[in-house]
Amino acid sequence: MALIKCPECGKEISDLASNCPNCGFPIGFDGGKKTESNVQYQPNTAPQPNNSQQPNNSYQQNNTYQPNMAAQPIRAYIHEPAKISGLSIAALIFSILGITFFIGIILAVIDLFRKDGKKKVLSIVSLFICAFWLILAVSVGEDDSTAEKDTVSVESPNVVQNSADDTDEHETVEKKDSAPKKEKPVVSEEYTSVTSTELIDAYNENQVKCKQTYDGKMLKVTGKVQSVGTDIMGMTYVCLGHDTEFTFVGVQCYAKDDETINQIAELKEDDLIVVSGKGDCGSLSFSIENAKIVEILEKTNDSYVDSEGESIGELTTGQANALKQAKSYLDFSAFSYSGLISQLEYEQYSHEDAVFAADNCGADWNEQAVEKAKSYLEFSSFSRDGLIEQLEYEGFTHEQAVYGAEANGY
């Protein structure tokens, strides 16, 4: 055993004591072994020396440190607002487009089943939009089927009735209706005859007036074939163009049945045909729904002649390409006969091929002079003689130049 000094009061005590007998300061020994469980901070009950030079730390030294067991403040968790799912945005876009609404349905359903904590409001909205498109498609299909059924006359079948005597199983009586058969009257629809050029001009001039005049009406449209093809929904159509100028907006006639599709397959560019159907003035173009080809008035001339007027059977590659190039030029601008030949030679076609194209392109050179004069007057002012001189400079003959000037008011 040895004597040590108490860290608190400075008096000597045994090193085996667990607490100072004088001040009660915990020494931390119990039978010579230091244990953490015996360390207790006891308040100092012994008198303290009066030392004015040292600060009074009796409060800090004589009080047992107790952990603060008071209720801790509750931390407030601020949840960020849930983000909108990117899949729902895509579903909304596809549903608004209309023709891709079925993709919107798939994306919306997938998004609603995903548990990613994001908002699904747009997916629900896209489902409502898709439902609207679906209902609209079904209603349009029912209207078309009803219209087809209304044109079919209904005949009453012969009615075969059994005899009133149930005991005689072999005896039957075939009875016909005593009243005359009542056939459903076929409503004769009145068609409004119009040319594709008139429809295109009316559509380009005022779409509202065009809609009031032709939308929903049964029309018979006469025009030249501009192109044939199928749209993104797989529907076959023939597009009728303008008679005198090239336009990006034509009259698209959608085939009603397989018979019409087979007729469209035999058509060629510039064939003159008559199409009947229901007018539809859309936001981008004018179209004919449930179209049928009533008549083919004029087929494109497949027999070509050379510069001497002799018939040509098969075209050479140069002749075919020159002819195609000449028609494309005439779709966008007006040319004189010599002017068209010069333009084709500028494109490095041979003189013979250029002449062949000018002879067989089907252009009316008087009408070309009218269109050329009109284009000049739209950009500048000309006197009568000045306009005629300008047209002659473009390669038109004097007669053609005079015709073009007089057709434009001179």
Give the DSSP letter string of 294-357: EEEEE-----EE-TTS-EESS--HHHHHHHHHHHHHHHHS---HHHHHHHHHHTT--HHHHHHH
Beta bridge partners of 244: none
Cβ atoms 103, 81 nearer than 8 A: no
Helix (H/G/I), strand (E/B), else coil: 12: strand
pTM: 0.38
Helix (H/G/I), strand (E/B), else coil: 301: coil
What is the chain's Cα-based Rg? 49
Cβ atoms 122, 85 nearer than 8 A: yes
Structure tokens at 319: 């002749």
At 327, the amino acid letter reads K
pLDDT, mean of residues 381-386:
91
Segments making up each domain of the chain, as ranges:
1-44, 86-137, 192-298, 304-407
At residue 276, the pLDDT reads: 94
At residue 284, the pLDDT reads: 83
Strand runs labelled E in 249-398: 251-255, 272-281, 286-298, 304-305, 311-312
In 3D, which of 270, 245, 272, 271 has the Cα closest to residue 375?
A: 245
Residue 372: pLDDT band (50, 70, 90) is very high
d(CA 247, CA 291): 21
Phi, psi dihedrals of residue 305, rounded to the nearest 5°: -120, 155
Q: Of 68-72, 286-290, 330-334, where does the model show the most confidence? A: 286-290
More confident residue, 399 or 183: 399
Match 């000018």 to its residue by tokens.
358
Helix axes 121-150, 101-113, angle to 10 degrees: 140
Cβ atoms 7, 26 nearer than 8 A: no
As assigned by CATH, the class of the 192-298 domain is mainly beta
Residue 3: pLDDT band (50, 70, 90) is confident
Residue 390: pLDDT band (50, 70, 90) is very high
Determine what percent of the chain is predicted with pLDDT higher than 70.
69
Helix then strand then coil, % of the chain, to nearest 5: 40, 20, 45
Beta bridge partners of 225: 240
Interacting residues of 312 by C-beta distance below 8 A, sequence separation 6+: 303, 304, 305, 306, 319
d(CA 304, CA 287): 33
At residue 307, the pLDDT reads: 63
Phi, psi dihedrals of residue 374, rounded to the nearest 5°: -60, -40
pLDDT, mean of residues 237-241:
91
pLDDT over 90 (residue 289)? yes
Residue 95: pLDDT band (50, 70, 90) is confident
pLDDT, mean of residues 155-173:
43
Cβ atoms 87, 124 nearer than 8 A: no
pLDDT (tens digit per residue) in 37-61: 444 444 544 455 554 444 444 444 4
Determine how many CB atoms are found less than 10 A away from the CB of residue 103: 16
At residue 75, the pLDDT reads: 44
d(CA 200, CA 247): 8
Match 């439902």 to its residue by tokens.
131
d(CA 140, CA 286): 18
At 32, the amino acid letter reads G
d(CA 101, CA 115): 23
d(CA 132, CA 72): 56
Helix (H/G/I), strand (E/B), else coil: 156: coil
pLDDT, mean of residues 78-103:
70
Task: State the Cα torsion 140-277-298-338 to the nearest 10°.
Answer: -70
Strand runs labelled E in 135-185: 159-162, 172-175
Q: State how beta strands 218-230 and 159-162 pair.
A: unpaired
pLDDT, mean of residues 341-346:
94
d(CA 364, CA 346): 22
At residue 126, the pLDDT reads: 77
d(CA 154, CA 181): 9
pLDDT, mean of residues 61-83:
49
In 3D, which of 313, 324, 301, 237 has the Cα closest to residue 275?
A: 237
